[in-house]
Structure 1
Amino acid sequence: MEGTTIWFILIAVLWTSYFFLEGFDFGVGALLPVIGKNDAERRVLINTIGPVWDGNEVWLLVAGGATFAAFPEWYATLFSGFYLPLLLILLALIVRGVAFEYRSKREDRRWRRRWDQAIFWGSVVPAFLWGVAFANIVRGVPIDADREYVGTFFDLLNPYALLGGLTTLVLFILHGALFLALKTTDEVRERANRIAGRLVLATIVVGGLFLVITQLQYGKPITWLTVAVAAAGLVLAAIANARGREGWAFAGTGLTIVCAVATLFIALFPNVMPSTIDAAYSLTTTNAASTPYTLQIMTVVAIIFTPLVLLYQGWTYWVFRKRISVAQIPDKIAETAR
Structure 2
Amino acid sequence: MAPNLKDKDFLQADKKIQERLKPKAVKREYTILYHVVLLLAYLHIAALYGVYLLFTSAKWATVVFNTLIFVTGSYGISAGVHRLWSHRAYKAKMPLQIMLMLMHTMTGQTTVINWARDHRVHHKYCDTDADPYSSVKGLFFSHIGWLLVKRHPECLQKGKEIDISDLLQNPVLRFQKKFYAILNPLMVFILPTLIPMCFWNESLSNAFHVHLVIIMLGANVTFCLNSIAHAYGNKPYDKNISATKIVPLSFMSSGEGYHNFHHAFPFDYRSSEFGNDYINFSTHFIDFFARIGWAYDLKYTTPDMIAKRVSRTGDGTHHRGE
Taking structure 1 as the reference length, the TM-score comes to 0.28
Which structure: greater helix fraction?
A: 1
RCO higher in 1 or 2 (8 Å CA, sep ≥ 6)?
Answer: 1
Task: Report the TM-score when normalising by structure 2.
Answer: 0.29
